Amino acid sequence: MYNETITYYSKNPFNKFEIQNPSVSHFESNDLCGDDLTVYLIINNNIVENWSFTWDTAIITTACTSVFWESIIWMNISDILKCDYNYIVELIESEVSDRRKKASVLWLLTTRNAIHKYLNDWKVDDFDDIIS
C-alpha cells in the first residue's frame, strides 16, 4: 500500500506538460516496467528555473516525478547531479520496495542525463549511479 504522499501526487501530478523552448530536454525509459519519461528544463546560470515532464508511467513513477519538481526549482544543477535514491526517500518519507526502486528514480535519472546533455560533458548516468 502506498503512503498518502504517493497516492496524492499520483492522482494530481504537477508540471505534466512540455515546456516550450526548454534549455534542454531528455527522454529515458525503464524497460523493467515499461515507464517512459521526458523532462524539460529551463536553466539559467546553472539554476533550474523551470522543469516539467511528459510521461507514460506507473503510479510510483508519476508520484515521485511530481514530488521531485517541487524540490528542484531554483536548485543548482551541480546539486541535482549529487542526488540519489536517498533523496526521493526523504521527499516521500518512505522507502520504496526493491522491485519499484528504478521506477521511483526514473525522474532523477532522466533529469541528471538532461543536465549532462546541457553541460555537454559526455557523461551518461544509469540506474546504478542513482541507486546505491
On whether residue 52 sits in a domain, the answer given is yes
On whether residue 105 sits in a domain, the answer given is yes
On whether residue 60 sits in a domain, the answer given is yes
User: Residue 12's pLDDT is what?
Assistant: 67
CA quadruple 123, 112, 28, 108: dihedral, nearest 10: 150
Which residue positions in the chain have pLDDT lower than 70?
Answer: 1-3, 5-14
On whether residue 76 sits in a domain, the answer given is yes
Instruction: Note down the domain range covering 117.
Output: 9-130
CA quadruple 110, 111, 113, 118: dihedral, nearest 10: 140
Number of domains observed in the structure of the chain = 1
On whether residue 101 sits in a domain, the answer given is yes
On whether residue 1 sits in a domain, the answer given is no
User: Residue 11's pLDDT is what?
Assistant: 67
CATH code for the domain of 74? 3.90.1010.10
On whether residue 47 sits in a domain, the answer given is yes
- Cα four-point dihedral sign 51, 57, 68, 103: negative
On whether residue 23 sits in a domain, the answer given is yes
pLDDT digits (tens, 9 = 90+) for 63-80: 778 778 878 999 999 999
